[in-house]
Every structure is written in structure tokens, then in C-alpha cells.
Amino acid sequence: MGTRTRLVGRHIATFGGVVFVSSIVFGALVWWAPGSPQRIDAGAQLDQGFWGWLLSFWLGLIQFDLGPSYRGIPVDQLLVKGAIKSLPLIVLSMILSVGGSLLAVAIMGTRASSSFPLVRTAIHSISLVPVFLLGYLAVVLFAVPPDGVFQALAAIAILAVGDGMLTDIFLGIDDEVDQLLDRDFVHSARLRGVPVGPTLARHLALPLAQIAADKMAYVVGGVLVIEKVLGIQGIGWMGYRAATHHDFLLLLAITVAVTSLVAASQLGVDLVRLATDPRTTPNVSGQEVG
């Protein structure tokens, strides 16, 4: 049990380290950016110096009180307001993309290029179109309304497909299922008449999570674009505006938040792997049998 706790600790430490060092890097960028100290002046005390300022930023992050952005609205309020809009987009588009790919693989079978070339070509070519273009076409051709459910649905669909998202996830899942179905233990289960479904589910859960987590950073980038194009006032939209308005404190907070989101998704996969895969913990019980 001790080894397992230590491994969990190591993963959490990695996560913390990534967020910590990232915040130093971006903090330094913001601190020494041309023209930035004057902007920050409004909220923070300049005489603290860089480390003092960063320390107060971390403290603010933990206490959830980052002080006002330069417009006067508290940064944490803005952050929460944006997250409420953006997180559903991220999560739902992920689910849509993974679920759709699974469904496609289940219906067509893997490596079905010979039987369904048209479907595959369609998936590939739609997915090649960048998110901003899909958003653009949605506005121009389909007149997506500037607000409401339709807009959110359109955004989710676009995120799930564009920027190569669907192709990457589809091919990843296709590959995974293909390899899994050719594993000897699956053949063995089929021959013996043991239900294959649970075996497949057990072995696919982790790779699916891994594929989704690897795509997290891209979806966050896509969210930035689609929110700007469709005018959804989420995290990405705010970040973009903060950048153009040189609202560096808000920008730093958003960057750190987004980085932690991506790192957290990897952490989640690592922890799930530790919990479900016996191979991740070294052999302890085997010796007594020898």
C-alpha cells in the first residue's frame, strides 16, 4: 500500500510543480512585459518587487480573492463567470467527440476504410476545417443566433469537430479498439463464450480518458477562438479581451487557471490508471508464492 500512496503523491507533486512553475514563467512575462507595471499599479503594490507580487498573487489564488482587475470588477468573479460558460463547452464537446467516434467505430467496425470510404473521407475533411472557419460558416450560412441554446449547441458541435479534433480522437479510438480486438485474451474470451463487452469496456476506459486528456489543451485553444467568433463571454473571450486591453492580472489568472485545468486532466488520468491497472504498482504479493 505504501508504494501506491507514494505514486499518488508523486503524480500530485508533478501536477503542483507544473502549475507552480508555469505561474512563475507567466508571472515573469507579465511583470517584465513592456508597459505592464503601470497597468498592474491600479491593483497591486509595486514596491513589493516581483517575488512579493507573485506571492500575493498565489495567496490571492488560494484565498480566492485576487483583487480588482483594472476595470474594477474583482478578478475572481470574472473567472467564475467565465468558467460557468466555458467549462460546459469543453466537457460536452469532449463527450460528443469521444462518444461520436465510439459510435462510428461500433457501427462501421475498425479499419473499415474499404467498406465505408465515404464516411471516413467525410469525417476527415470536415475535421480538417479550423474552428474559426466553422464558426464563421455557422454565422454566415446558418445564421446562428448571437445568444441562447442554439449558439451553445453550435459551439459544442464545432469544438467537437474542428481543428482536427474529431479525426484525432476517431483515429485514436479506432486504433485502440483495433489493437484491443486483436489481443489474444479477447480472442480467448470470444472462443470460450465469455461475454466480451465487459472486457472491452475495462480495457477501453483508460485509453479513452488518455486520448481525451491529451486533447484538452487543444480544446482550450478552440474555446478561445470559438468564444471570440460567436461572442460567447466565457474564459477564452475574457482572456482575449484581457490581452488586448493589457489587463495583465486577469490574463495571468486565466492562464494559470487554464494550465491547471490541462494539468489536472492528466493528473486525473494518472490517478485513474493507478486505481484500476494492477500493473502500475510493483509486485508485492507475488513473492510468497514464488
Partner 1 sequence: MSDPILFTRDLWVRVHDPNGGGSPIAVVRGANIELQRGATTCLVGESGSGKTVLMRALLGISGARPGVTAGTAWARPDGSEFPVPLVGPRKRWRGRALPSLRPGWAGYVFQHPSHSLDPLLRVGDQVGASVTIAHSGLTPAAVKRRVLHWLETVHLPNPEAVAQLFPHELSGGMAQRVAIAIALATEPDLLVADEPTTGLDWSVRRDIVDLLGELCRARGMSLLLISHDFQVVEHIADQLYVMFRGELVEDGPRRAFFEPGPGSHPYTRELQARSRALEEGSSPPRLHLAEQPTSSGAGCVYAHRCPWIREPSPERSALGERCRSVRPPDFRPSSDHRVRCIAVGEPT
Partner 2 sequence: MTLSSLWTQRHRQDQMGPVSVFGFGVLIGLVGLRIAAMFVDSSPRLGLQDEQLLPAMAGPSWDHLLGTDQLGRDLLLRMVDAVEAFFLPGLFACLVAALIAVPTGAIAGYWEGSKGAAVLRGLLTMISAWPRLVLVVVVVAIFTGSVRDPAAWAEVRLYLLGGLVGLSYIPQLGGAVSERVQHFRREQFVEAARAHGLSDRRILLWHILWANCRHLVLRHTCTLFGAFILVETSLSYLGDYGVPPPRPSWGNILAGVRHSVVHSRSLMASSDSWSPAGLWGGVEQAIQHGGLLGVLAPTIAIAVSIAGVLALAEHYARRDRP
- What residue ranges bind partner 2 (CB under 8 A)? 14, 17-19, 21-22, 26, 29-30, 33-36, 124-125, 128-133, 136-137, 139-143, 145, 163-164, 217-218, 220-222, 224-225, 228-229, 239-240, 243-244, 246, 248, 251, 254-255, 258-259, 262-263, 266
Instruction: Residue 144: name the closest of 226, 230, 237, 234 by CA.
Output: 230
276 binds partner 1 (CB under 8 A): yes
Among 280, 284, 258, which residue's Cα sits nearest to residue 8? 280
Triad 260, 266, 272: Cα angle to 5°: 130
Provide the CA 266 distance to its chain's centre, in angstroms. 9
Instruction: Pick one of partner 1, partner 2, none as the site partner of residue 140 (Cβ within 5 to 8 A by kind).
Output: partner 2
The nearer residue to partner 2, 98 or 251, going by C-beta atoms, is 251
- Is residue 106 part of the contact set for partner 1 (CB under 8 A)? yes
| Other C-beta atoms lying within 10 Å of the C-beta of residue 148 | 9
Quick check: 256 and 15 in contact, CB under 8 A?
no
**Minimum distance from CB of 189 to partner 2 (Å)?**
27
Which of 15, 59, 90 lies closest to 253 in space, CA to CA?
59
Contact 207, 199 (CB under 8 A): no
Instruction: Return the range that interacts with partner 1 (CB under 8 A); candidates 11-19, 91-99, 186-194, 241-249.
Output: 186-194
Size of the site for partner 1 (CB under 8 A): 36
Backbone dihedral angles phi then psi of residue 59, each to the nearest 5 degrees: -60, -45
Answer for which of 1, 140, 143, 191 binds partner 1 (CB under 8 A) is 191
Q: Closer CB to partner 2, residue 243 or residue 274?
A: 243
Shortest reach from residue 5's CB to partner 1, in Å:
19
14 binds, among partner 1, partner 2, none (CB under 5 to 8 A by kind): partner 2
By CB under 8 A, is residue 202 in contact with partner 1? yes
Q: CA angle at residue 128 from 122 to 133, to 5 degrees?
A: 110
Segment near partner 1 (CB under 8 A); pick from 48-56, 139-147, 166-174, 282-290:
282-290
The separation between CA 91 and the C-alpha centre of its own chain, rounded to angstroms, equals: 8
Residues at the site binding partner 1, with contacts judged by CB under 8 A: 106, 109-115, 178, 181-185, 187-196, 199, 202-203, 276-279, 283, 285-286, 288-289
